[in-house]
Amino acid sequence: MTRIAGIALGFALTLSAYAQHDMPAGMSHEEHMALMKQQAEMKQRGNAAMGFDQDKTIHHFLLTAKGGIIQVETKDASDSASRSQIRTHLKSTSQQFAHGDFSAPVRTHNEIPPGAASMKRLEGAITYSFRELPNGAEVEIRSDNASAIQAIHQFLQYQIKEHATGDSTTPK
């Protein structure tokens, strides 16, 4: 192979590696780069606010008829440090939310998530239940109040979008 053919092959392989990175449809390169920067900053803030490495965990936000569930688990079942950190964070989160304190999501997202103000205002109509899972933990958020359920759904739908979990945005 000639030197020029080798350089061309290397260039083609480099381009194919970049082509494998998915860019959301309808988004310019500049918009995509800005989104990637925003997500990296959120991940860094989340690491600090939640006390565990976001890259070692999986978040799920599940909507239910009566509210929803925040679920976080380790990607590696043998990662006992992350599992412990998740449990500490979500136990604290359930207690903070029950008292109308949504400071951790504000620190993570650098803004007040939709639904949080209403959840704070309606705190007496919402219950928060912490449960350990084999690889992490979850917080179930429930209410019989239609306004509270709507606020919970708004909050969780925002989390689904921000954390790009792919979870359904409609209640099950």
Does residue 13 belong to any structural domain of this protein?
no
Tens-digit pLDDT profile for residues 104-116: 887 776 888 999 9
Does residue 7 belong to any structural domain of this protein?
no
Does residue 96 belong to any structural domain of this protein?
yes
Does residue 52 belong to any structural domain of this protein?
yes
Does residue 26 belong to any structural domain of this protein?
no
Does residue 1 belong to any structural domain of this protein?
no
Tokens representing 129 are 């239940």
β 126-133/57-64 pair status: unpaired
Does residue 121 belong to any structural domain of this protein?
yes
pLDDT of residue 23: 62
Phi and psi dihedrals of 30, rounded to 5?
Answer: -65, -40
Does residue 9 belong to any structural domain of this protein?
no
Task: State the residue range of the domain holding 148.
Answer: 37-163
Domain count, the chain: 1
Q: What is the 3-state secondary structure (H, E, C) of 85-118?
A: HHHHHHHHHHHHHHCCCCHHHHHHHCCCCCCHHH
C-alpha torsion angle, residues 89, 90, 95, 101 (rounded to 10): 70
Q: Inform me whether the pLDDT recorded for 63 exceeds 60.
A: yes
This prediction has a pTM of 0.76
